[in-house]
Chain A
Amino acid sequence: MLGGYMNKVLRINLTTGEIRTEPLDLNMARKFLGGRGFASYTLYKELKKGIDPLGPENKLIMASGPLAGLFHPCSSKITFAAKSPLTGIYGDSNMGGHLAAELKYAGYDMVIFEGSSNKPVYIVIDDDKVEIRDASHLWGKGTIETEKQLKDELGDDFQIAVIGPAGENLVKVAIIRHDFGRESGRTGVGAVMGSKKIKAIAVRGTKSIPVADFDEYLRIGKEMFKSLMSSPIFPEFQRYGTTMVVDWVNEIGAFPTRNFATGYHENYKELNGTAMKERVWIHDKACGFCPIACGNYSRVEYKGKTYYVEGPEYETIGMIGGCCVMPSIYEVTYGNYVCDNLGLDTISTGAIIAFAYECYEKGIITKNDTNGLELRWGDIESFAKLAEMIAKREGIGNILAEGVKKAAESFGKDSIKFAMQVKGMEISAYESHWAPAMLLAYATCDIGAHHNRAWAITYDIEVGREKITKDKAERVVFLQHARPMFDALGVCRLTWVECGLNLEYYAKIYSAVTGWETTLNDLLKCAERAWNQNRLFAIREIPDFGRKYDYPPARWMEEPAISGPTKGRLIPKEDVDKLLDFYYEVRGWDKYGRPTPEKIKELELEVTE
């Protein structure tokens, strides 16, 4: 018996209203595991070259993984994916919460949303009963109100994913949000959902997930829990979550401050884990099956009103607090609330607003461009106003809603040099003026700059930040397979490097669950296959795609960091080229950054027009 998979794909066409199911392609399951792997394969296979990411021909994928929804640690991840409106290439973003499990219980491994509706709708997936319902009463509402209203209407046992005004208005950094605080935040998947006029997706299920060897599964699952929870630092990890690193990144000069001009925020202690815990934190919050509960639920007062939000976690602190130079955790928490409720990615929005602040400071844009709004570093009022203008595409917000790359092309005056993005997507919260492996990780990330795929900054520190060596490329490539492997399996990766859980567990438990005897190398090969598939997607879309799309912004190569531990540092273009040469060699790609025929054959990939 094959376990882990529900053996069913749900296909919903918003144009025709047709709803149908089909058996899961087991060849795809073998070769791509699940989650983002399914998305990579399906989007490459089913999308025509050159389609409009916000048109009806794009498809929005919602896919869990074979390990999601079972009761070993942290089995809660689901991926949303589409051709990205932000980058024009393959895009995805995963989230925790409870949706992955519920989708499996409803009986599906993957849902493919096709076409687009001519009126706002929400989707109800209630086991085998699937409906497209009118959402005109929800359209225009914030994410919090939308999710709450649907919970009230449908029942608390539905797991719900929603978009906010940003997704409705096709803002290219719009998120899909679930469980009042879990987000598929990157690559603009929320805009794709908005383009299909889907306001929300509600899922409830009552089925069981098959497991091939239940006794063995139980044995390994228990071992995983024991290993994870007996880590001597487990209680501290629970207490502070990801905010713990704020002090550290400032000490090493990697906190993205003042639009990445420096890696050091002078008042970082006003933004760190202690500040969060003592000033805004109310209680911890966990995704399904997670004993860590790294999420923080917080409360903040602003202008006499009280706001509640899940967060801020590290990335939000880095991108709103550091990048926009906010003075304290209070402003960051309020900014977090504003973005979440509007349905904006806090990472990209932080980068976009920091970019706008810098353009304003340099006179590239003026009050004439901002409807009289004065833009100042550290000013939460202008941040909140600008976020709203972006979400509603009002005034200059309509330009900023396209992301920093497009905004820089619109503003001109060399602003592209400090538009902090790769492949069109804003860089997340690790300042890399002096972190070559981290810079390479951002530069080569398959969806545009994102730390999630290869978090290599600790490697820079371990082996020497000044080194431009092949082992750094090897490390980045390994991470680019290992970390996405978690996304494909439908489990959280924080158990691994952070809590010390051995990677081999995932091969053992995948074997026990599915009944397919599988090694860790087999799993990593599947992740490599998806990585190359995504590169082929980009090459098919953009004929000259390759090395020139893998460069970081000029700021990191030409402008030294202005303060802090990395003051005066940069990584010149010739060193970036050396890193890319190493990287392409390790990957088995040619010098232009394209998979060689041998590599394509080795991975059993098909190239189509």
Chain B
Amino acid sequence: MAIKIRTGGLTLKRYIPDIYYVDIDSPLTVRDLLTKLGIPEGLIAGVIIDGKIVDKSYEIKDGQEIVLMPPISGG
């Protein structure tokens, strides 16, 4: 199952390139994916799939593009 990940900002640079493709064997949640990639869950401010914010418990489907948003300082 192939997944494309898009991310950016300085906070996540040490964990993952801005564009990253990953193959996974079985269905897994966004939370599982972060664990697999070694990204601290607390550094992901938002997960967006198909233009919608989803929970980290969301189960990823084949071919989906996942946007991992870094924390943004507000206002």
Please determine whether A496 and B75 come into contact, CB atoms closer than 8 angstroms: no
Please determine whether A252 and B8 come into contact, CB atoms closer than 8 angstroms: no
Please determine whether B9 and A274 come into contact, CB atoms closer than 8 angstroms: no
Partner of B71, one of A232, A347, A458, A496: A458
Q: List residues of chain A with CB within 8 A of the CB of B51.
A: 239
How far, in Å, is A312 (CB) from chain B's closest CB? 9
Which of A231, A314, A498 is the most central at the interface, judged by chain B CB atoms within 10 Å of its CB?
Answer: A498
Partner of B74, one of A234, A236, A318: A318
Partner of B70, one of A233, A242, A347: A233
- A430-467 contact mask (Cβ, 8 Å, vs B): 1 or 0: 00000000000000000000011001011001100000
Partner of B19, one of A232, A236, A313: A232
For residue B67, CB closer than 8 A to chain A, the reply is: yes
Please determine whether B75 and A242 come into contact, CB atoms closer than 8 angstroms: yes
User: Chain B's interface: helix, strand, loop or mixed, by majority?
Assistant: loop
Q: List residues of chain A with CB within 8 A of the CB of B11.
A: 458, 462, 497
Please determine whether A248 and B7 come into contact, CB atoms closer than 8 angstroms: no
How far, in Å, is A505 (CB) from chain B's closest CB? 13
Q: List residues of chain B with CB within 8 A of the CB of A480.
A: none
Find residues 1-42 in chain B having any chain A CB closer than 8 Å to their own CB.
6-11, 13, 18-19, 40-42
For residue A358, CB closer than 8 A to chain B, the reply is: no
Q: List residues of chain A with CB within 8 A of the CB of B42.
A: 248, 251-252, 461
Please determine whether A498 and B43 come into contact, CB atoms closer than 8 angstroms: no
Please determine whether B45 and A247 come into contact, CB atoms closer than 8 angstroms: yes
Please determine whether A500 and B6 come into contact, CB atoms closer than 8 angstroms: no
How many chain B residues touch A (CB < 8 A): the figure is 30
From known contacts A233-B6, A461-B40, infer whether A313 and B75 are also in contact, taking CB-CB under 8 Å: yes
Q: In whole angstroms, how far apart are the Cα atoms of A479 and B45 in the complex?
A: 20
Q: In whole angstroms, how far apart are the Cα atoms of A315 and B75 in the complex?
A: 5
Q: In whole angstroms, how far apart are the Cα atoms of A285 and B66 in the complex?
A: 26
Q: In whole angstroms, how far apart are the Cα atoms of A582 and B42 in the complex?
A: 25
Q: In whole angstroms, how far apart are the Cα atoms of A500 and B9 in the complex?
A: 4
Please determine whether B8 and A234 come into contact, CB atoms closer than 8 angstroms: yes
Q: List residues of chain B with CB within 8 A of the CB of A494.
A: 72-73
Q: List residues of chain B with CB within 8 A of the CB of A315.
A: 74-75
Q: List residues of chain B with CB within 8 A of the CB of A87.
A: none
Q: List residues of chain A with CB within 8 A of the CB of B45.
A: 244-245, 247-248
How far, in Å, is B25 (CB) from chain A's closest CB? 25
User: Please, which residue of chain A has its CB at the minimum distance from the CB of B4?
Assistant: A232
Q: In whole angstroms, how far apart are the Cα atoms of A500 and B71 in the complex?
A: 12
Find residues 292-321 in chain A having any chain B CB closer than 8 Å to their own CB.
313-316, 318
For residue A108, CB closer than 8 A to chain B, the reply is: no
Please determine whether B53 and A497 come into contact, CB atoms closer than 8 angstroms: no
Q: In whole angstroms, how far apart are the Cα atoms of A244 and B8 in the complex?
A: 14
How far, in Å, is B44 (CB) from chain A's closest CB? 7
Q: In whole angstroms, how far apart are the Cα atoms of A451 and B72 in the complex?
A: 12
How many chain A residues touch B (CB < 8 A): the figure is 41
Please determine whether A500 and B74 come into contact, CB atoms closer than 8 angstroms: no
For residue A237, CB closer than 8 A to chain B, the reply is: yes
User: Chain A's interface: helix, strand, loop or mixed, by majority?
Assistant: helix
From known contacts A237-B72, A248-B71, infer whether A500 and B8 are also in contact, taking CB-CB under 8 Å: yes
User: Please, which residue of chain B has its CB at the minimum distance from the CB of A228?
Assistant: B8
For residue A116, CB closer than 8 A to chain B, the reply is: no
Partner of B75, one of A236, A314, A498, A500: A314
How far, in Å, is B13 (CB) from chain A's closest CB? 7
Q: In whole angstroms, how far apart are the Cα atoms of A311 and B42 in the complex?
A: 26
Q: List residues of chain B with CB within 8 A of the CB of A500.
A: 8-10, 13, 18
Q: In whole angstroms, how far apart are the Cα atoms of A428 and B74 in the complex?
A: 10
Please determine whether B67 and A498 come into contact, CB atoms closer than 8 angstroms: no
Please determine whether A274 and B73 come into contact, CB atoms closer than 8 angstroms: no
From known contacts A314-B75, A497-B11, infer whether A233 and B67 are also in contact, taking CB-CB under 8 Å: yes
Q: List residues of chain A with CB within 8 A of the CB of B48.
A: 236
Please determine whether A236 and B67 come into contact, CB atoms closer than 8 angstroms: yes
Please determine whether A451 and B67 come into contact, CB atoms closer than 8 angstroms: no
Partner of A273, one of B44, B53, B71: B53
- A216-254 contact mask (Cβ, 8 Å, vs B): 1 or 0: 000000000000000111101101111111011001100
Q: In whole angstroms, how far apart are the Cα atoms of A30 and B61 in the complex?
A: 56
Please determine whether B9 and A498 come into contact, CB atoms closer than 8 angstroms: yes
Q: List residues of chain B with CB within 8 A of the CB of A273.
A: 46, 53
Q: In whole angstroms, how far apart are the Cα atoms of A463 and B44 in the complex?
A: 15
Please determine whether A244 and B46 come into contact, CB atoms closer than 8 angstroms: yes
13 A–B contacts from the bound complex (CB under 8 Å): A231-B9, A236-B46, A237-B69, A240-B53, A240-B69, A241-B72, A242-B73, A242-B75, A244-B46, A248-B46, A251-B41, A494-B73, A498-B73
Add 5 more A-B contacts to A247-B46, A248-B44, A251-B41 (CB < 8 A). A233-B6, A233-B7, A233-B9, A347-B75, A458-B70
